[in-house]
Chain A
Amino acid sequence: MWLVHFWAAVIAFAILMYVVLDGYDLGVGILFGTQTNEQHRATMIAAIAPYWDGNETWLILVGAGLFAAFPMVYAIFLPAFYLPVALMLFGIAFRGVAFEFRERSTGMRPVWDQGFFLGSLIIAFVQGAATGAMVQELHVVDGRYAGGGFDWATPFAIFCGIGAVLGYALLGAAWLVLKTEGELRDWAYQRLPWLLRGVVVVLVIVFVFALADHLHVFDRWSTHPLLLVLPLAAALAIIGLVLGIRDRRDGMPFTMAVLAVAFSFLTLAASFWPYMIPYTVTLEDAAAPPQSLEFFFWGGGLVVFPVVLIYTAAVFWIFRGKVLLGYGSTQSHS
């Protein structure tokens, strides 16, 4: 049934877009917490203000897409991650209002700033930890989640959460290098190599742990060795990232970081295939009835999805180039 594959492709693409796009603006939010200069903080906000809520619509597309096309995945994922996802939503709420409220308030500004930083941090952590818990396999019986509310909190998953925080911060620093100039760009350049080292260390430890724990992830790799081209491409992108930092070519770190994330995501997707909840629920198991998939195809697939794609591209085109203070910046401090 081609519609099942169509919707799986749309959702996979939307997840990748979300991780890359919200990844860099969450990363800027995480780095924001380590920056004390108010002028630079204002520039950091201005560097993501036109994009961030557009970026987050990809998460809504993922959620709505799963609910409509693969309701079983939605029904397993949410109870398995009920508390962390609620925490993530609190983070999204605080982070979203911080953009406006920090400019309106001087007395309360530290509170909104902390909300912005901690919100970004928690969102990144929950997403990484959920991915780690999925790799370790959820306790699913008869298509239902049968574990407890804290089953996700394994050392492996927590480690993956830390990895996501570092990875998003890496994307964020690369974005700042692309969009800013002067002192703040230097600051971001200084952080890039450290964040990259952190990400590589986490990846190596996760890999060794998965190998030692005999996780199912590796079965696919031993039967389909050609797939190794994906992690290899990710490694090449990381080398490109290192070169971009060394030569200080402003556009290169972000491009290479995006490629590294994209190939890492494809690597993960290839290890899961054909499962959607590894390794219990397949694409076909989870798919909604053909009538539903077809119904959603005409509205969601042919209209909503392209519209989101077009406005994402439009925003990036309209706000291309370096940040010009004046949009979303606190004028009072300039």
Chain B
Amino acid sequence: MTPTLTGPQVLATLIGYVLVYAFIFAFGIRYIYALLREGPTETGLRHAPTTGKRPMMAAGPAETATGTAAAAE
């Protein structure tokens, strides 16, 4: 094992990973859920040729996809 790596360091980074990923995935799931609720939109169809690594592009901008933007801005 690595002699200089201490327990508290490992614990700190483990907690860090859990927090960072929990935060990111919580919002990721929320955004995907909003996407599913919205269903395909006209903007989405216009954007149809998109790439697999940018799946959210097909949904168009946030304003139309979530329907909450007007209130937030």
- Which residues in A have some Cβ–Cβ distance to B below 8 Å? 49, 53, 75, 78-79, 82-83, 86, 89-90, 93-94, 97, 99-101, 103-108, 144-149, 328, 330-332
Contact = CB atoms under 8 A, between A and B. Distances in A.
A108 B57 CA distance: 18
Contacts of A82: 5, 9, 13
A82 B63 CA distance: 41
Interface centre among B21, B34, B35, B63 (most CB of A within 10 A): B63
Interface of B: 2-6, 9, 12-13, 16-17, 20-21, 24, 27-28, 31, 34-35, 43, 53-54, 56-57, 59-66, 68-69, 72-73
B66 A93 contact: no
Given A97-B27, A101-B31, A332-B64, 19 more contacts: A79-B4, A79-B5, A82-B9, A83-B9, A93-B21, A94-B24, A97-B24, A100-B31, A100-B56, A101-B27, A103-B62, A104-B31, A104-B35, A104-B62, A104-B65, A105-B27, A144-B3, A145-B4, A149-B9
B3 A90 contact: no
Contacts of B20: 90, 93-94
Chain B interface SS verdict (over half): helix
A91 to B, nearest CB: 10
Contact of B54 (A79, A94, A100, A148): A100
B53 to A, nearest CB: 7
A145 B2 contact: yes
Given A82-B13, A86-B16, A101 B28 contact: yes
Contacts of B64: 332
Contacts of B21: 93
B62 A147 contact: no
Nearest to A330: B61
A51 to B, nearest CB: 12
B2 A331 contact: no
B5 A105 contact: no
A220 B54 CA distance: 48
22 contacts: A82-B9, A83-B9, A90-B16, A94-B24, A97-B24, A97-B28, A103-B62, A104-B34, A104-B35, A104-B59, A104-B62, A106-B63, A106-B69, A106-B72, A146-B3, A146-B4, A149-B4, A328-B54, A331-B60, A331-B61, A332-B61, A332-B63
A105 B28 CA distance: 11
A328 B62 contact: no
In this complex, the member of B3, B59, B65 whose beta carbon has the largest number of chain A beta carbons within 10 angstroms is B3
Nearest to B28: A97
B61 A86 contact: no
Nearest to A327: B57
Nearest to B65: A104
Nearest to B46: A331
Nearest to A111: B27
A26 to B, nearest CB: 18
